[in-house]
């Protein structure tokens, strides 16, 4: 199956697609869990209801590289207006150690010395990256 970018998902509604990217965030809300995946074109939301699929990623840290196959559906709650449901998740590169820089959050609560000491990681944060 050919890889689709996050920005192209709205063109593939009700079709099965394959997306690849970095794990940005996981939100566990009981029976329904949400995974935010980041690729070079932006972010996308994956809705996970299968406990076996969630168990695969529950111990992963942001930055893990994933490949996900699932069906695209419309969702008014999602930032793009679409999301992936019924995913089959394949872990390409697992990250299990906690990153010292929380680059996946909107704001970084660190001083300038800390950010400069961890520059390769802090450049992944959107507000710092926007400077360039």
Q: Which pTM was predicted? A: 0.80
Task: Tell the CATH superfamily of the 6-93 domain.
Answer: Nucleic acid-binding proteins (2.40.50.140)
The string of pLDDT tens digits covering residues 35-56 is 999 999 989 999 999 999 999 9
Can you give the pLDDT at residue 104? 66
Domain boundaries, the chain: 6-93, 99-132
User: DSSP H helical segments within 5-125, as ranges?
Assistant: 51-57, 112-117, 119-122
- The structure tokens 């390409």 sit at 92
CA 53-55-60 angle, 5° bins: 105
Dihedrals phi, psi of 44, to nearest 5 degrees? -140, 155
Distance between CA atoms of residues 65 and 38, nearest Å: 9
């Amino acid at each position: 199956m050919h890889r689709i970018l996050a920005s192209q998902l709205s063109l593939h509604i009700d079709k099965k697609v394959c997306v690849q990217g970095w794990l940005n965030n996981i939100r566990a809300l009981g029976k329904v869990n949400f995974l935010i995946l980041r690729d070079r074109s932006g972010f996308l939301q994956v809705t996970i209801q299968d406990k076996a699929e969630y168990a695969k990623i529950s111990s992963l840290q942001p930055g893990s590289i994933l490949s996900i196959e699932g069906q695209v559906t419309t969702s008014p709650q999602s930032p793009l207006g679409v999301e992936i449901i019924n995913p089959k998740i394949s872990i390409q590169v697992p990250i299990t150690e906690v990153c010292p820089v929380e680059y996946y959050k909107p704001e970084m609560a660190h001083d300038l010395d800390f950010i400069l000491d961890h520059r390769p990681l802090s450049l992944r944060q959107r507000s710092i990256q926007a400077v360039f």
